[in-house]
Amino acid sequence: MHWQSTIFSKLIASVLIWLVSTTAFAQDGKMYPIDAPQEPGAIPLNTGGVDNQPEQESWFRQWGDPMARNISKATLTPFLADPKKATGTSVIVAPGGGFMWLSMDNEGWEVAQALAARGINAFVLKYRLQPTAGTLEAFETQMNQRFAEAAKSSGDNKTSSKRPRGNLDDQLEDVEAAYALIKSRAKEWNVDMKRIGMMGFSAGAGLTMATTLQSKKVSLAFIAPIYGGMDAVEVPKNAPPMFVAIAVDDFLFHGETGLIKSWYDAKIPVEFHLYQNGGHGFGLGNPDRTSNKWFDAFMHWLDVNKFLKP
């Protein structure tokens, strides 16, 4: 449909304009405040706000990527495949950021564009986050603390049974609202509800897992938690096939593969790619890392499991 291609074009154009306007900033780990980019096509999910959220949504740039924080209004942005190549398979994409920020481009828009180019409808979920400090300096301290906590707790057998950790009621509600929206417009968007999956990165992988383990309203045909926690979980009988990718040098890894064994013991299909390097947050890939081919492996996995046939 014309409106689909128009929205997609506007989103790409706005992101390109944003990138050009921010090229003066170095591609480093320092945080730079930025204006919020336009998000044409973003649909409000109307799931409410966030308790005790005194700050407004704000954006910053780190490692060359736009990040959003203090999100109190969830949205869903469709990236619809060209009808000529659309398979009907669709993916809800959940960016990561420790539930304190979202890596919207590296783990959201870029991934959605790559999926749409392969005939898969993608829907980027901008979910609600935990409140963070008003200044970037104070937020950076909070961010570093969250990374340290995640690194310390990952692979801890004493706490593994508690995963996913924390109260994710808001985020689960956002996923369920996104799923309901997609279902309500499935015919319009050429979505086969029997072939809708979810892919999440880091905290988004945790949200993908929480949806799989806890939600009674979302039925997923497959899941792809990418560089998320790897500790064991109790697998529901109706759990979907799972594709997992993580790098050995990821601070969340610690040699733990309990998640894979959980799926294996439940006799549910699972594919596991453990890469020599790539670190954490590699998105679609970084130069000269073995993890760069994970997306191709994921597409092959979908193909073999007949999710790419119209």
Lowest mean pLDDT among 29-38, 180-189, 200-209: 29-38
Residue 153, pLDDT score: 66
Q: Which CATH class is domain 2-304?
A: alpha beta
Question: What is the rounded average pLDDT of the residues 274-278?
Answer: 97
Are 212 and 240 in contact by the 8 Å Cβ rule? The answer is yes
What percent of the chain has a predicted confidence (pLDDT) above 70?
86
Question: Residue 163 CB: number of other CB atoms within 10 A?
Answer: 23
What percent of the chain has a predicted confidence (pLDDT) above 90?
73
Confidence of residue 145 (pLDDT cuts 50, 70, 90): confident
Residue 117, pLDDT score: 97
Residue 27, pLDDT score: 57
Residue 144, pLDDT score: 82
Nearest to 9 by CA among 34, 35, 36, 38: 38
Confidence of residue 216 (pLDDT cuts 50, 70, 90): very high
What DSSP character marks residue 106?
A: I
